[in-house]
Amino acid sequence: MSTLTALARARAAHAGRAVPITAVRHVHLSDEPLVLIPLMQAGEAAAPLAVMAGTDRAAPQLLLVAQPRNRDQRFDFLTRFAEVLVPYIAARRQHTETVEPTKNHDEWERCTDAPQLILPNPAGVEALRLLGRSARFRTVDGPYPVDPRVPLLGRYLTWFADDRAPMPGSGVCLALTSALSQHWATGQSALEDQHLPALLSWIDPPEGMSGAEAALLAEDPDAVPPAGPTTDPAFDTGVLAPLVRAQEEARAAQDMRAVAKAEEELRVALAAQLEPTWQTVWRGIDVLRGLPAAASDKPRWQVDRGRFTDFMTGIEEGLPPQPKRPSAVAAARRLADLESARQSYDRSQAIDDPLVLARYRVGGEAFAGRITFVDAERQEIKGKRAWPRPLVVLHTQDEVILRPGVKLASPARVAQTVRLRAVRRGEAGGYEVELELQSGMGRGKTPEEGSVPLVGEERCYATFLAEQRGTRPELPETDKTPWTHGGPPWPHVARAEDQAEEWH
Amino acid sequence: MPMSPSVPQATASAPAPAVTAARLDALRGPVPPRSHDARTIAALTVNPGCSRRAVLDAAGVDKRKLAERIGFPARYGQSPFAITRGLAFEKQVKADGCTALLELLRGEPLHFDVPEHEYVDLGVEPTADSGTPVTVDRAGRYERTRRLFARVAAGEPLLADHPLLRLDVGGRTAYVEPDVVALSARPSGASESAPARLYVAEVKSFAVIDGQADPAKVGAAATQAAVYVLALRRLFAELDVDPRIVADDVILVCPKDFANQPSAHILDVRRQIAAVERQLARLPRIGALIADLDPTVDFDLAVDPPEAQGESGREHRSGVELGKSLTMIEARYAPECVTNCEMAFHCRAESRAAGGADALGRSVRDSLGGIQSIEDALAVADGSAGVGSEQHEAARLLRAAARAYDEALRVTPRVAEPEVDV
Amino acid sequence: MSAAASRSTQARAVIEAVAADLLSRDHRGVIVDSPPGAGKSTLVVELSGRLAATGERVMIVAQTNEQVDDLVARLAVAHPTLILGRLTAGDYEVPERLAPLRGPNLAFSSKLPELAAAGVVLATAAKWALVKEGEFPWAILDEAYQMRSDGLLAVAPRFADGTALFVGDPGQLDPFATVDTDAWAGSPWDPSDSAVAVVRAHNPDLPVHRLPYSWRLPATAAPLVAKAFYPFTPFDAGSDLDDRSLTFSARGTSGTSSADECLDEAADTGWSWFALPAAHTVRTDAEAVEACAALADRLVQRQATAVDRAAGYERAVTPDRIAIGTAHRDQAAAVRAALARPDRAGRGLTDVTVDTANRLQGREYDVTIVLHPLSGRRDATAFHLETGRLCVLLSRHRHACVVVGRAGIADLLDAHPHAEPVRLGVPVKFPDGWAAHQAVLAHLGAA
């Protein structure tokens, strides 16, 4: 953890209220997100108990499974879940915009919007991932036939929770606790921040209460039900188990009126568990919306829209479902995607947000100060040509631990690479840093207007902003996987086995 | 002179073991000690630096009850659904003399060479007349386990269900029950002449999906299994049999994917065995730890029966007294304690009340160097307090952080342009 | 036969066995594990020549430009008739030491077709990954344990029908990714795993050889490094105790300077521990940083001389023969700042190499000073306990190593929790960081 974040936590603990660690919002918020709060049955891998879902905070839909261990009921639940999710996604597939062709890509149509799921916490996203895994290989025929929307739902959920949620900077599937703790430091630990009601209490405490007090109250599962997907064991013992049993007994006795009554009681009980979290999630979204969106929000969401388009096109073109485990080539591609997304997300946050940049300053990867000297005329003769190489001196109070030769860039002019030539102790404290401008000054012999900083200007320079984005390595085609990685994988034929996969 | 990084030695000032045992009994008061089991032995590896927990465990104090008495009841508990599911799965694996388990070992992908076994259930009394099975006392069950493994060592292929093993934990005998079995087998590819080894099998009801399970759960299962391996090895050592007869690998049996179908996985638990052994070896140091304790410290949770009907029983120690005793033993609190120690909520409240940086988590504590309290850190950061030479760097970083943060608040961020309707 | 002669014979036998396995073409690949300083580069240089002598082209893959350039220089000297091609990135500048070698037998180019005349082509893994065409019958992958599986996948098509030699040190730092890679844990396709791990997972029958002697580590160091970091693959020092010595022209100011006493001990025994009083500190602990700089300073002021009778040298331990190793970059920066103090700079101390373990991998010095990764810490993290990190730091020296740290490391290890998450199918890594740290501490304390 950076010293800055540690200090922010200490300040929050002292103040009894969370402290912002960003100046702007770095996660995209859709105008119409779909909030999902899943509850799962304890002790089972992927037995859904209920989900509260909706795009309208005033009208949540509650879907539930009366007996999570009953396969038919579970399929029925997934079908109803699909009835919520599929139209939400389809609505975002409708409108597209034309993207001009580039060197590597023909002209194409990109969706003008993309879906956005918001879950209370990362465990909720994991629950979706497991539901997606359990549903995407189901088929409409075979030993356990299902509604055609069930495998589709499985593929959608896999895309959200497995493909996109781990992708840095993607906003199509958000865990609210992660999004909130990315923007605020609380006066408790990161572990305790995973509890949504407690975290939100620190950020947005109720009237007349400190965040610390409110968080303590919010931790009591009797007063505030946990945000799922696991239920409170005391609720399972005291409420859920008797209701499930009553409902089962009624079914066994074929007393349909008693079944209906038991189911209704179950619905009421689960709604009571979910309702507070529903309100908390929407309040969390409000709090996030209170922050202005970062400048990079649009390009990031545009990437999400592009990936959404690709994914939908793949389904429409009849591609098979996402495999259980990727091939060597697919895994390597995926890692490259993840790492480059990480790099560009880190960069864009630092460029947009001075508070994020401040963390790097304290960590010694950046420094900020005032320009005290500029030699804009300076040139370097290389071969037959003279190149502009202006010299700039910056005075900073930051501890400069970088070595001569290191490349830097400033958020004020990211495309301009600067080389650190020397660092001297300033006479009046701090450091004098001598910098040579190397690029981003146009093509002429003299720098373009405005491309050289002026004396008196405040500038920040950081190492990671100058890091080259690595060229993507050339990976072999999957069917040409070399012997080092086991040769070409077996073609995808596992449908029969997947169909027969037992499901209680 | 260069100093050597000596390992702390408890022996120098440690009192005799009998003195220690007497003091530990006195600490607990006139209630029977909570005995260790595999779970609590495994837990020794979780926060070994905490003196408070070490003393309470060594004295056999019921931490759960203690936490309740001082007003910080621990909220642990398992859902009845999870319990039912766990029992059903275990029953399924062990049905018909563990048929399913043996099939798993012989089949894909393990291909163990498992001879025909005689199945012996040590958890039930062998009854001549067909009455209902009777569970027997622990010492007797241990004795029978011991006799059975003597036969195993002699080469008889036996599959032991519900064996009861013993482990010396800080001078007190703890019984542990591998919830399953030890059986002899040869791993695939081993030569005919290679000796068959005994494997401990652990049945867990968490799912393995596409080859992966929750790493925290697998880790806990591995440590628990390591306790069984150790106990089993000690038993063979007592029998004068080479303890290496017990394999370093254990077999983890879990439901596969979304079905109830069991699947078997090999876990190499050498690191966990080493970790548990290390903690068991450390336990004698408790003597030095309690020798320095204030004589007034005790955790007597006993309650005398009420003298008259309608009255409540008389507690030997009030909650306040117990809490005071607790504060006299140093805790090493970290937020992760909540997941594995009954005293965690008390320690958290204590740390928060004292303004300790520990309450903010290990990584925050780390960034603050040796500065222990939140108020000190803030005073150093705003320049209103100085520090000793060891904290000089921490202070510099904190001041730099405060300055960078406050400066950044004055800089305008780059925000998205508002949507324009066209 | 003398001990020295017997060691050379054994080492030679390993090289011959590797060559025989390769030239037989019975296997698609051959793996050579090399402990620190065991002659890995010598092996690569010799085998490059022998493979090229078959008349078929050899590609050599190393991880950094510096490593590639080192190999180019050594190959040019060892095989003057061999035509070498150095494949480079666009912005590569030929280093000064290679400039004189440039000529008909050493060409530099950023395009493979321009190096068609070369019998041996060398480049970094990153550069090879961008090459789309061309196949080589022979490939040598150096520092293969530091190469990531996905990096190997990108270069492997260049030798898909050939035979490859994987050389590396399994005890050093593992490659890492900047994102969470748990999704692939336990899968043989984990793209963040090391190249050797993935090759072995898919080709379990490849022959594995091990170089038996460390020619770098002195007899005082090899046993500890082997025991702590290579518990199942032991190796010995290639030299005897009395082959090496470290002496000072200027006597220490005995009784007053703990730095001098510490250096004397290191000169005598090969190791010493410079203890600072126990305290919890941030990682750029000013006192520990100053101690590292002061030790280097005294080493230079006292005019140390290093002698290796077997290798036949007697040389002054000049600042460029000294390295100071740290775990973190900011620590290295702080030590550099302490060495740049005017009086020290005047004594040439800015020429001392100060770097993190990651950057010291593969390098060699006469004397090293190590800031212990756990010094001043309250808790150990996986990063600080990583055996590869400590192993790199403690295996860079030919004569002596001084470890600087706060007292209390033993207590920290003692209190370290062992509740590790476990991923199914991931082979357990040995040695355990905890155990390796304990072994090292015990040795330093006993010294």
Span A202-209, average pLDDT? 96
**Residues of chain A found within 8 Å of residue B373, distances taken between Cβ atoms:** none
Does the pLDDT of residue C56 top 60, yes or no? yes
Dist. CA A290–CA A285, nearest whole Å: 9
CB-based contact B77:A234 (threshold 8 Å): yes
Span A295-316, average pLDDT? 97
Nearest to C434 by CA among B275, A391, B43: B275
The predicted-structure confidence for B162-171, as pLDDT tens digits, reads as follows 889 999 887 7
Span A276-292, average pLDDT? 97
Span B233-256, average pLDDT? 92
Is B281 or C138 the better-scoring residue by pLDDT? C138
Quote the pLDDT of residue B180: 66
> How close, in Å, is residue A343 to chain C by CA atoms?
9
Main-chain phi, psi angles of A310, to 5 degrees: -60, -45
Does the pLDDT of residue B56 top 50, yes or no? yes
> How close, in Å, is residue B324 to chain A by CA atoms?
23
- Length of chain C measured in residues: 447
Does the pLDDT of residue B284 top 80, yes or no? no
From the centroid of its chain, how far is CA A334?
A: 16
Closest CB to A354 among B338, B364, B413: B413
Neighbours of A (≥3 Cβ pairs closer than 8 A)?
B, C
> How close, in Å, is residue B144 to chain C by CA atoms?
33
Q: Is B356 on the interface with A (CB under 8 A)?
A: no
Does the pLDDT of residue A499 top 60, yes or no? no
CB contact under 8 A, A237 and B205: no
Nearest to C13 by CA among C227, C209, C253, C245: C209
- Indicate the pLDDT class of residue C254, thresholds 50, 70 and 90: low
The predicted-structure confidence for A373-399, as pLDDT tens digits, reads as follows 999 999 988 778 888 999 999 999 999
CB contact under 8 A, C445 and B282: no
- Indicate the pLDDT class of residue B12, thresholds 50, 70 and 90: very low
Is B84 or A104 the better-scoring residue by pLDDT? B84
Quote the pLDDT of residue B287: 85
Burial class (CB in 10 A: 0-12, 13-18, 19+), C325: buried
Return mean pLDDT, chain B. 85
Q: Is B419 on the interface with A (CB under 8 A)?
A: no
Which residue of chain A comes nearest to B351, CA vs CA?
A: A188
**Residues of chain B found within 8 Å of residue C441, distances taken between Cβ atoms:** 5, 7
The predicted-structure confidence for C379-408, as pLDDT tens digits, reads as follows 888 888 999 999 999 999 999 999 999 999
Does the pLDDT of residue B225 top 50, yes or no? yes
Quote the pLDDT of residue B10: 42
CB contact under 8 A, B3 and C376: no
Does the pLDDT of residue A105 top 90, yes or no? no
Candidates C189, C194, C199, C282, partner chain A, best to mutate (most A CBs within 10 A)? C189
Span C133-155, average pLDDT? 95
Main-chain phi, psi angles of A63, to 5 degrees: -110, 135
- Indicate the pLDDT class of residue A72, thresholds 50, 70 and 90: confident
Nearest to C172 by CA among C332, C30, C360: C360
**Residues of chain A found within 8 Å of residue C190, distances taken between Cβ atoms:** 331
Quote the pLDDT of residue A22: 98
Number of other residues whose CB lies within 10 A of the CB of residue C277: 10
Q: Is C198 on the interface with A (CB under 8 A)?
A: yes
Half-sphere CA count of B239, side-chain side, radius 13 A: 22
Dist. CA A281–CA A55, nearest whole Å: 12
Closest CB to C258 among B2, B278, B340: B2
CB contact under 8 A, B8 and C410: yes
The predicted-structure confidence for B102-151, as pLDDT tens digits, reads as follows 889 888 888 888 888 888 888 765 444 444 444 557 788 899 899 998 98
- Indicate the pLDDT class of residue B160, thresholds 50, 70 and 90: confident
Q: Is C340 on the interface with B (CB under 8 A)?
A: no
Span A309-337, average pLDDT? 93
Quote the pLDDT of residue A502: 54
Quote the pLDDT of residue A211: 96
Span A97-107, average pLDDT? 91
Return mean pLDDT, chain A. 92
Candidates B360, B363, B393, B421, partner chain A, best to mutate (most A CBs within 10 A)? B360
Alpha helices in A317-383 (DSSP H): 328-352, 354-362
Q: Which residue type is seen at C336?
A: R
What token pair was written down for B385? 């307090």
**Residues of chain B found within 8 Å of residue C282, distances taken between Cβ atoms:** 367-369, 393-394, 397
Quote the pLDDT of residue C1: 66
Write out the H or E segment, with its range, that includes residue C148.
none
**Residues of chain C found within 8 Å of residue A476, distances taken between Cβ atoms:** 153, 156-157
Q: Which of A369-373, A408-412, B136-140 has the lowest mean pLDDT?
A: B136-140
Closest CB to C333 among A335, A364, A485: A364
Does the pLDDT of residue B1 top 60, yes or no? no
What token pair was written down for C163? 């035979």
Q: List for chain A the helix, strand, coil content (%; round to 5).
A: 40, 20, 40
Quote the pLDDT of residue C159: 97
Nearest to C120 by CA among C86, C154, C164: C86
Span A236-254, average pLDDT? 91
Dist. CA A300–CA A308, nearest whole Å: 13
The predicted-structure confidence for C187-200, as pLDDT tens digits, reads as follows 888 999 999 999 99
Does the pLDDT of residue B9 top 50, yes or no? no
Cβ-proximal residues to B365 (8 Å cutoff; 6+ apart), any chain: B357, B358, C378, C379
Half-sphere CA count of A17, side-chain side, radius 13 A: 9
Quote the pLDDT of residue B307: 77
CB-based contact B360:A18 (threshold 8 Å): no
CB contact under 8 A, A325 and B396: no
CB contact under 8 A, B48 and C441: no
CB contact under 8 A, B367 and A3: yes
Quote the pLDDT of residue C255: 57
Q: Is B80 on the interface with A (CB under 8 A)?
A: yes
**Residues of chain A found within 8 Å of residue C195, distances taken between Cβ atoms:** 484
Chain A positions contacting chain C at CB under 8 Å are: 3, 166, 168, 325-329, 331-332, 334-336, 338-339, 342-343, 363-364, 401-403, 470-471, 473-476, 480-487
Candidates B208, B258, B351, B391, partner chain A, best to mutate (most A CBs within 10 A)? B258
